[in-house]
Amino acid sequence: MSWTFPLSERVRNLKPSPTLAIDTKAKTLKAKGVDIINLSAGEPDFDTPEHIKEAAIKAIRDGFTKYTPVGGIPELKEAIAAKFEQDYKLTYRPEQIMVSTGGKQVLYNVAQAILDPGDEVIIPVPYWVSYPAIVELAEGTVRFLPSDPDKDFALDLAELGSMLTSKTRAIILNSPSNPTGAVYSREDLMTVAALAVEHNFVIITDDIYDQIRFDNKGPENIASLVPEAQDHVIVVNGVSKTYAMTGWRIGYLAGPQAVVKAATKIQSQSTSNPNSIAQKAVLAALTGPQDEVLKMKKAFLERKNYIMERLEAIPGISCVKPKGAFYVFPDLSSYYGKKAFGKEINNSLEMADYLLEESRIAGVPGIAFGDDRFMRFSYATDLSIIQEGMDRLRVALSNLNS
Ligand code: PMP
Ligand code: GLU
């Protein structure tokens, strides 16, 4: 008798993270010697700054290798609170902070902590790939809020107002945005805060790209703009992007004590504390010199300008100028319906496959972010790689004919 291993309906309905899947495929091909231009994952190409690595080595040598408090070591929580004070003028007590295994796990813990089956969570489109899955794993219902590239992907406040129901539990904001690089205006954030207070919903603000902004404004979020709404706001952040620490897996949350307590309870029954050594490294990252962060930001700005210039020179592409993060999200749909080498391209998945197979450029299809017209390319990689990627993209698109 053949045996079909019994898997839960939950996992059968779950799609693996497309960004991680494509990145793994690109890295595997590269390791086999295939000449791949990997513009897929949102992962800074820089090495983690030296003083952060040294702090981790010291932690190991000092034997800091045991369980820590579930929500993080007290000195790290204090450093995080100081950072909120410094960057956002927001005051949090250590009981209002939790450290987790990456921003992704923070979001997972929060969803598990605040959602009951059928609770609605509003997610602006385009969205980061994991938001819908994280909500659905907590049995929440996703309500998508479309946005318009012609309006720089701004929040559609009229539509948001009309979507609110008695079941609306939360909205997830991500500014600067992955994948579009959009930054929400202060006025729009203020309106969302007022709606949240009036209609009693939670604002989850994913600020993971808050240090990578190109508008010369400091980091800001909805709670810093509307302090009266702070009780409604859960701030999610982490060190993966700002300090080039994707592999270390540290993220953190600040918010009302009740949600921190609940999320910490979930964490105590799932992963326990985040890695002890990584916590010491992050303490050094947050309290040490920030010049490497500024250097990386400068490089991202230079790359953004370069990649935008190249995209704008390719006929048929339109692309909203990113104001932060390290992605471009061009609309390639004017090439849909065209053919190259006998293959017709009709959607973003076929476009991504075509670019990978014919030109060996790895990018992420827009459908993974909720909009099939687009492709996402990360420019968190060396300029020479971006240059080669854009050369190949230009040729690949010019080979598509009706
Ligand atoms: N939010 C957004 C918008 C992201 O792009 C990422 C990507 N890594 C995360 C959260 C989670 O990052 P991490 O788990 O590495 O902290
Ligand atoms: N957040 C990054 C991205 O969007 C890393 C991959 C992931 O965590 O899904 O590419």
Domain hosting 332: range is: 9-47+292-397
Please state the domain count of the chain: 2
Query: Among 254, 287, 320, which residue terminates a domain?
Result: 287
Asked whether 128 lines ligand 1 (CB < 6 A), one says yes
Question: For residue 101, which atom of ligand 1 is closest to its CA?
Answer: 14
Nearest residue by C-alpha to atom 12 in ligand 1: 103
Asked whether 240 lines ligand 1 (CB < 6 A), one says yes
Provide the pLDDT for residue 115: 98
Query: pLDDT in tens for each of the 402 residues of the chain?
Result: 789 999 999 999 998 888 888 888 888 988 999 999 999 989 999 999 999 999 999 999 999 999 999 999 999 999 999 999 999 999 999 999 999 999 999 999 999 999 999 999 999 999 999 999 999 999 999 999 999 999 999 999 999 999 999 999 999 999 999 999 999 999 999 999 999 999 999 999 999 999 999 988 889 999 999 999 999 999 999 999 999 999 999 999 999 999 999 999 999 999 999 999 999 999 999 999 999 999 999 999 999 999 999 999 999 999 999 999 999 999 999 999 999 988 899 999 999 999 998 999 999 999 999 999 999 999 999 999 999 999 999 999 999 988
316 located within any domain:
yes
Asked whether 42 lines ligand 1 (CB < 6 A), one says yes
DSSP-assigned states of every residue in 354-401: HHHHHH-EE-EEGGGGT-TTBEEEE--S-HHHHHHHHHHHHHHHHT-B
Residues 6+ apart with CB under 8 A from 51: 284, 288, 289
Asked whether 346 lines ligand 2 (CB < 6 A), one says no
384 located within any domain:
yes
Q: pTM, whole model, 2 decimals?
A: 0.96
Q: In angstroms, what is the span from residue 104 Cα to ligand 1's centroid? A: 6
306 located within any domain:
yes
Contact 106, 238 (CB under 8 A): yes
174 located within any domain:
yes
Q: Which residues pair with 120 in a beta bridge?
A: 141, 168
Provide the pLDDT for residue 217: 87
Provide the pLDDT for residue 5: 95
CA separation for the pair 357, 352 (Å, rounded): 9
Query: Among 249, 264, 287, which residue terminates a domain?
Result: 287
